Amino acid sequence: MPFITTKDGTEIFYKDWGTGQPVVFSHGWPLNADAWDPQARLVADHGFRAIAHDRRGHGRSGQPWNGNDLDTYADDLAQLIETLDLRDVILVGHSTGGGEVTRYIGRHGTGRVAKAVLLGAIPPLMLKTDANPEGLPVEVFDEIRAGVAADRSQFYRDLSQNFYGANRPGSKVSQGTHDSFWMWSMQVGIKGAYDCIKAFSESDLTEDLGRFDIPTLIAHGDDDQIVPFVASAAKSSELVKDATFKVYPGAPHGLAEVAPYNEVFNADLLAFISS
């Protein structure tokens, strides 16, 4: 399996499919690169090179004690891009992965980047503060920390309901989708999973969004129960200059894996990266 080794010695797993302009996918918490498989296959089938990595602490990558923060995640992404000598890259990030992409641009610029896609992404800030009253109170994230620490297996089983909107009337989310979510989640080391909660909830990415100078697609479901639409995409679309803004009515956080929303998103993704 292909890996790169970061400056602190952490091995980062990645998959590399197809040829052409590179599309680099960053996954959400607490999943891994496999969550992007349908989209990676889609873009590779259409003449792009699809690359998706497991964030440190997740999946097949190393599980270091330190570095489970957005700055390091972004630096790991930068090292992947530089090691593979990728240029004219299209960055695609979901949820925490969207924060990773945003912090990458904030720290490393867009010299190697052609476009960006933020799907159900955490920017600019998930935590409720005086300056961000639309965010979620810290008690919400404390409950997530408690769930991971006490019985992460059951916590992840419960979380998949909200993640995919399976708790909504008429939902047709399959048991297989829930099983995949649980399987991927259980591959995350508890230290990395626990630390990442602070990273995705308390990182203020407002200034990073202001550094975007490339075509950007911001997409979000308006029934996202994980990353509140009003505190994220609605604000990010105003902070990123000339962003293309797509709202999917009724769609959950994990819309890229749930029909019929995934079909609409896939079409929008392909149209955006091909334009």
pLDDT tens per residue, range 173-194: 999 999 999 999 999 999 999 9
How does residue 72 score in pLDDT terms, banded at 50, 70 and 90? very high
Question: Looking at 61, 95, 185, 201, which residue is catalytic?
Answer: 95
- From 27, 108, 178, 253, active-site residue: 253
Architecture of domain 3-274: 3-Layer(aba) Sandwich (3.40)
| pLDDT band for position 224 (cuts 50, 70, 90) | very high
Closest CA relative to residue 210, chosen from 242, 163, 172: 242
> How do residues 136-174 score in pLDDT, each as one tens digit?
999 999 999 999 999 999 999 999 999 999 999 999 999
Share of the chain above pLDDT 90, in %: 100
- Give dist(CA 4, CA 144) in Å, integer: 31
Q: Is 253 one of the catalytic residues? A: yes
Task: Look over the chain and give the mean of its residue pLDDT values, rounded to a whole number.
Answer: 97
Rounded mean pLDDT, 77-88 = 98
Structure tokens at 64: 């270091």
Catalytic, 224? Answer yes
pLDDT band at 5 (very low <50, low <70, confident <90, very high): very high
Catalytic residue among 208, 224, 236, 237: 224
The predicted model gives 204-231 an average pLDDT of 97
The whole-number pLDDT of residue 88 equals 98
d(CA 215, CA 241): 9
pLDDT of residue 146: 98
pTM of the model: 0.97
* Helices (runs of H) and strands (runs of E) counted in the chain: 9, 8
- State yes or no: is 94 an active-site residue: no
For residue 24, name the pLDDT band (cuts at 50, 70, 90): very high
Q: Determine the pLDDT at residue 274.
A: 98
Helix H, strand E, coil C: the string for 164-211 is CCCCCCCCCCCHHHHHHHHHHHCCCCHHHHHHHHHHHHHCCCHHHHCC
pLDDT at 8: 96
pLDDT in the model for residue 204: 98
Burial label, 155 (beta-carbon count in 10 A; 0-12, 13-18, 19+): buried
pLDDT tens figures, 90-106: 999 999 999 999 999 99
> What's the confidence (pLDDT) of residue 259?
94
Condensed to tens digits (0 to 9), the pLDDT of residues 107-139 reads 999 999 999 999 999 999 999 999 999 999 999
Task: Determine the pLDDT at residue 41.
Answer: 98
The first and second tokens of residue 241, run together, are: 């200059």
Statement: residue 1 has pLDDT above 80 = no
Confidence of residue 76 (pLDDT cuts 50, 70, 90): very high
